[in-house]
Amino acid sequence: MTHDEQHPADQPIPAPSPEADASPAPWDVPPGHRSGFVAIVGRPNVGKSTLMNAYLGQKVAIVSPKPQTTRTRIRGILTLDRGQIIFVDTPGIHFPKDKLGEFMVEEATGALPDADVILWLVDLTRPPGPEEQHVAHIIKRDRAGRPLIIAFNKRDLVTGEQAQLYRTAIFRLLEPEKPTAWMEISALTGHNLDKLLDLLLDNLPEGPRYFPEEMVTDQQERDIVAEIIREKALHFLQEEVPYSVAVLVDEFKERSDDLVYISAIIVVERKTQKMIILGEKGRMIKKIGQAAREEIEALLGKRVYLDLWVKVKHKWRKKEDELRRLGYRMPKKKRKRKRKR
């Protein structure tokens, strides 16, 4: 099966919603219903994916302590009675060193022109530096008068004094622009997430529901499966190997009502990395497979037979055609929408 074919298993993941029948139809939203896109942007590793997952109440985007975990734009849809927020989780804005990095930064900055609200996430544990300056520059360039909310994350790890110091530094980088509002949060503990949500909703325009309420993400099941496998590989691997890993799901077959067969390829850049992933007597790939299988079974609510393979594609991160084949397709450059509200 090729990757372009539609697969019966490629259904949007439904939200756990026991009282689905009780909610209004999309055209039947209450007065004052707000909706739109919130682009979550910032440096790598500040907690963007953690924040989106926290709002959605489930893991839609993979998370790891290693920078550059998120590689593509991932939409997560939060449907409430008073509004619908489409979060756009993005790769971290950084100074790219290869084609994959260029793709990731394009993915991130490309989310700005389509956003109704820009949410800049800042990590309070790291002193603002060149990367924050770079993010500020891009926001100033692309904001076009839209609401900008800054959330200072990881508040659980720092003192109030440090939070204030870094906040002032961030505001200075943004000058002469000012944020519409700001908030100190912890995506991990949930601190102030309700208040931030109110802020986001207040700054979205009035509008209808764009997506059915049971839809939590626009990713296909097989994309999520590939990401889960990549997350487990990231989790068990050290040093530079994670950056060289890509995952392709090449078979996804329902064998019976409660058994799914999945075959996936872990792509790396060097033979030595392949050896590391396989591990002594295949121990490492077994660990990755086991952890991934458990999570995929929970996601699909079915038993899973997971077949993992490892393949070397020399320097794939530097080659545009390889990137495309692995699903990292450079977006066509869009003209910037100038909007004033």
Ligand X SMILES: Nc1nc2c(ncn2[C@@H]2O[C@H](COP(=O)(O)OP(=O)(O)O)[C@@H](O)[C@H]2O)c(=O)[nH]1
Give min distance, CB of 312 to Mg ion, in A: 26
Give min distance, CB of 315 to ligand X, in A: 24
Give residues 188-217 in contact with ligand X (rule: CB under 6 A): 188
Instruction: Pick the stretch among 106-114, 154-162, 229-237, 316-324 that binds ligand X (CB under 6 A).
Output: 154-162
Under a CB-based contact definition with an 8 Å cutoff, are residues 204 and 83 in contact? yes
Tokens of 153: 């994350």
Residue 109 interacts with ligand X (CB under 6 A)?
Answer: no
Give residues 66-95 in contact with ligand X (rule: CB under 6 A): 69-70, 92
What residue type is 81 in one-letter code?
D
Under a CB-based contact definition with an 8 Å cutoff, are residues 43 and 113 in contact? no
Residue 46 interacts with ligand X (CB under 6 A)?
Answer: yes
Q: Spell out, one character per residue from 32 to 71, where the chain touches Mg ion: x when CB under 5 A holds, - when not.
A: ----------------xx--------------------x-
Give min distance, CB of 90 to ligand X, in A: 8
For residue 230, the partner it binds in ligand X, Mg ion, none, with Cβ less than 5 to 8 A by kind, is: none
Closest CA to 220 of 48, 1, 6: 6
Q: How many CA atoms lie within 13 A of 338 on its CB side?
A: 1
Residue 49 interacts with ligand X (CB under 6 A)?
Answer: yes
Long-range Cβ contact pairs of 273-279 (< 8 A, separation 24 or more): 273/241, 273/244, 273/245, 273/312, 274/310, 274/311, 274/312, 276/237, 276/241, 277/233, 277/237, 277/241, 277/245, 277/310, 278/310
Give min distance, CB of 121 to ligand X, in A: 7
Return residues touching ligand X (CB under 6 A).
44-50, 63-65, 69-70, 92, 153-154, 156-157, 186-188
